[in-house]
Structure 1
Amino acid sequence: MPDGKNDAAQTHATATASAACPAHHVRPGEGRLAHAPADHPSVPKARTGVLLANLGTPDNHDYWSMRRYLNEFLSDKRVIDYPAWKWQPLLQLVILTKRPFTSGAAYRSIWNNEANESPLMTITKQQTAAIRERMQTRYGDQVMVDFCMRYGNPSTPSKVRAMVEAGCERILFFPLYPQSAGATTATANDKFFSALAQEKWQPAARTVPAYFDQPLYIEALAQSVQRAWDAMEEKPDLLVASYHGMPKRYLLEGDPYHCQCQKTTRLLRERLGWPEDRIITTFQSVFGTEEWLRPYTVEHVAELAKAGKKRIAVIAPAFSADCIETLEEINEEIKESFEHAGGESFTYIPCLNDEPAHIDALSAVIEDNLKGWLD
């Protein structure tokens, strides 16, 4: 038989606790909660956050801005996994003494002087605004859209904090990397989870997986290639799909990036209806002394020129927005390598950036990953 006295006591205790903090059992609404004590903090209207994430950018191209940015980037164990005792003295005493000057000069050559920011920052802002508009049309004020950077500003923790303060009880975290890699997607997710660990009222969370094989993404890539081809009187001999590189060792340790890059190229070729020898996969941005994924773009384009391929186009399907690796490395360093080897026509096809077809693809990925939260 139930004990009526105990039941009554338990009911009273529950009611007392509920009255003390109604936020625990009442869905948050705008302002102070109904029946809450006068000193209870206001609770914002419940929303769902969509937090876009990209690699990052220095605040400026001067020495100290570059040093801060490179120190954070190159100290990430996902990027450089050497033991700290071995890597940090080399980084702090040698690399960060010299590299801020060379990297700063590279950034200076592409800097958006009007906005006083890097092109990656400018483009990410444009992408965020376009996606925010799409989400507003689709979900109204239920969804908050913002962006953060893994390195530099705006930081991931600051944007997670802002979303929690704005009432986001759920956050969809979207690393803007079509292909997944430990040094890109995984480290962005690490930073996101670390930021969540600081929150007392922790929102529910989801992360968006790689989207390299999503039909709308492949369609957007194909459209960008077709536009470039249609604009040229003399067509290129072939298309080079240049992806950011990584140590070959990472592939052997199980990183999926290399395989996803190869599949991206194949899906793009199939969508274009091209033969296999019309498009090739290469890897750029080699760093350090160990072997990276091959072929290296900067070397291979020179080999192509010497072999008689005098006209090439280059696309960068691993980058969602133009940045230092595309605007400076591809369109300057890699182009120079090709031309010095005898190449005659080099065309860089820009990243998808805020092209409508790209925003369509990213919005579709977001909507798919919001299912069950917002339908």
Structure 2
Amino acid sequence: MTDSAVKELFGEGHLAHAPSDHPAVPCAKVGVVLANLGTPDATDYWSMRRYLNEFLSDKRVVDYASWKWQPLLQLVILTKRPFSSGRAYKSIWNNEQNESPLLTITRAQTQKMAERLKALYGGSVEVDFCMRYGNPSTESVLTRMKEKGCERIVFFPLYPQYGSPTTATANDQAFRTLMKMKWQPYIRTVPAYFEHPAYIQALTNSVQEAYSGLKTRPSKLVASYHGVPERYLREGDPYYCQCQKTTRLLRETLGFSKEEVDTAFQSQFGPEQWVGPQTVDHVAELAKQGHKHIAILSPAFSSDCVETLEEIKEEIHDSFMEAGGETFSYIPCLNDRDDHIDALLAVVNNELSGWL
């Protein structure tokens, strides 16, 4: 839709019949906001502490009673963990742009999405991105979108599989922002796309391209997802089941046998029983079983981040090699690959139905 068509449809800023002294109102638009997990502003102690405090104080992430959790968090965890987390982030930091890879990649995804939507709809769509934790904050971005005239907003948490600590908390933050607005924009939240054909095809393409460049074909492909406590599954969170289905669809599209592809879960912390197997232990067991050449990818992450670039490529890699492994091939997240943007665009266009 062209800018002139938008003006014809909506009117020039909705002011056609307003008095001359009426405050200026921007022409009505539709907004698309890509929402990712978040990033610290820097790797120093205080930057990491602010980020971790916001992240670990979220009841969607750690749902223990505040009287029990907050003293432990403030007095113990946040005195030590900013140092170790800071070292992890420093090892992967984008020094050229002085930001985390997650921020760099999410910005690139947003720019490509904006280009695709502009080609389809002209200037009637505004595209931006926000972070659940850190900057740019959800509140600042949604507020800016509204100020630009976005009366309708598609809010897109970039998590293929729905999870309470990911998708739900991103939506929560968007709704908290709306609660502060006198005039709320209409908003649509994007559902999980764990089985969307275009997403599965993009994953398939990434694996096929990686395998074509390897001298030795891996005997195992490990799909490693971020873990959650088993209790979440019992309480109705569909994340674990959606992860399993993503792996199955990927395997079937690749034409691999069941014996060639495993599902595992990483990033466990705390005393609870988590869904498994744990990736760091599973890859070591694979090496001991004779699987000397494996490949690993992370279908739950839309962008490479500390959990993939540091945890998988360093900690999990070392676990496999120390157990006798020989070739550990990490397949990058889909990031801003064109086929990934195509998949995200297909999801967005479905949610724009009836609005444009």
Q: In the aligned structure 2, how far is the partner of 1:132 from the partner of 1:35?
A: 32
Partner SS for 1:100: helix
Which structure would you say has the larger Rg?
A: 1
CA positional deviation for 1:130: 0.3
CA positional deviation for 1:199: 1.3
Q: Deviations over 1:184-239 (max 9, x none)?
A: 00000000011111111111110000001000000000000000111012111110
Residue 80 (structure 2) aligns with: 98
Q: Which amino acid aligns with 2:258?
A: E
Partner SS for 2:334: coil
Residue 247 (structure 1) aligns with: 229
Residue 152 (structure 2) aligns with: 170
Q: In the aligned structure 1, how far is the partner of 2:17 from the partner of 2:345?
A: 39
Q: In the aligned structure 2, how far is the partner of 1:27 from the partner of 1:131?
A: 24
Partner SS for 2:335: coil
Residue 53 (structure 1) aligns with: 35
Closer/same/farther in 2, CA of residues 187 and 32 from structure 1, 3 Å limit: closer
Query: What are the residue-to-residue correspondences of 1:61-210 with 2, within 5 Å?
Result: 61-210=43-192
- The structure whose RCO (Cα within 8 Å, separation 6+) is larger is 2
Q: In the aligned structure 1, how far is the partner of 2:13 from the partner of 2:72?
A: 53
Residues 14 and 28, structure 2, Cα contact 8 Å, conserved in 1: no
Q: In the aligned structure 1, how far is the partner of 2:127 from the partner of 2:196?
A: 21
Residue 5 (structure 2) aligns with: none
- Alignment of 1:336 with 2:309, yes or no, is no
* TM-score normalised according to structure 2 size: 0.96
Q: In the aligned structure 2, how far is the partner of 1:129 from the partner of 1:271?
A: 29
Closer/same/farther in 2, CA of residues 341 and 163 from structure 1, 3 Å limit: same
Q: Which amino acid aligns with 1:280?
A: D
Task: Give structure 2 stretches of 5+ with no counterpart.
Answer: 1-7
Residues 29 and 44, structure 1, Cα contact 8 Å, conserved in 2: no
- Alignment of 1:285 with 2:267, yes or no, is yes
Residues 35 and 129, structure 2, Cα contact 8 Å, conserved in 1: yes
Choose from 6, 10, 19 the match for 1:37: 19
Residues 13 and 28, structure 2, Cα contact 8 Å, conserved in 1: no
Q: In the aligned structure 2, how far is the partner of 1:355 from the partner of 1:211?
A: 17
Q: In the aligned structure 1, how far is the partner of 2:32 from the partner of 2:265?
A: 31
Q: Which amino acid aligns with 2:57?
A: S
Q: Which amino acid aligns with 1:336?
A: D
CA positional deviation for 1:28: 6.0
* TM-score normalised according to structure 1 size: 0.91
CA positional deviation for 1:33: 1.9
Choose from 212, 228, 248 the match for 1:266: 248
Q: In the aligned structure 1, how far is the partner of 2:316 from the partner of 2:271?
A: 19
CA positional deviation for 1:289: 1.0
Aligned length: 349
Residue 3 (structure 2) aligns with: none
Task: Give structure 1 stretches of 5+ with no counterpart.
Answer: 1-25
Residues 56 and 149, structure 1, Cα contact 8 Å, conserved in 2: yes
Residues 238 and 279, structure 1, Cα contact 8 Å, conserved in 2: yes
CA positional deviation for 1:36: 2.6
Q: In the aligned structure 2, how far is the partner of 1:38 from the partner of 1:365?
A: 42
Q: Deviations over 1:64-94 (max 9, x none)?
A: 0000000000000000000000000000000
Q: In the aligned structure 1, how far is the partner of 2:342 from the partner of 2:20?
A: 46
Q: Which amino acid aligns with 2:70?
A: Q
Residue 14 (structure 1) aligns with: none
Closer/same/farther in 2, CA of residues 31 and 46 from structure 1, 3 Å limit: closer
Q: In the aligned structure 2, how far is the partner of 1:220 from the partner of 1:34?
A: 46
Q: Deviations over 1:121-144 (max 9, x none)?
A: 000000000000000001111110
CA positional deviation for 1:37: 3.1
Q: Which amino acid aligns with 2:118?
A: Q
Residue 211 (structure 1) aligns with: 193
Residues 32 and 42, structure 1, Cα contact 8 Å, conserved in 2: no
Q: In the aligned structure 2, how far is the partner of 1:202 from the partner of 1:234?
A: 56
Q: In the aligned structure 1, how far is the partner of 2:143 from the partner of 2:59?
A: 24
Partner SS for 2:162: coil
Q: Deviations over 1:8-47 (max 9, x none)?
A: xxxxxxxxxxxxxxxxxx9864468234334321110000
Partner SS for 2:88: helix
Query: What are the residue-to-residue correspondences of 1:320-335 with 2, within 5 Å?
Result: 320-335=302-317
Q: In the aligned structure 1, how far is the partner of 2:234 from the partner of 2:257?
A: 29
Q: In the aligned structure 1, how far is the partner of 2:184 from the partner of 2:12?
A: 19
Q: Deviations over 1:310-355 (max 9, x none)?
A: 1100000000000000000000000000001111110000000000
The root-mean-square deviation of aligned C-alpha atoms, in Å, is 1.2
> What percentage of residue pairs aligned between the two structures are identical?
67
Partner SS for 1:312: strand
Q: In the aligned structure 1, how far is the partner of 2:190 from the partner of 2:156?
A: 5
Q: Which amino acid aligns with 2:303?
A: A
Residue 206 (structure 2) aligns with: 224
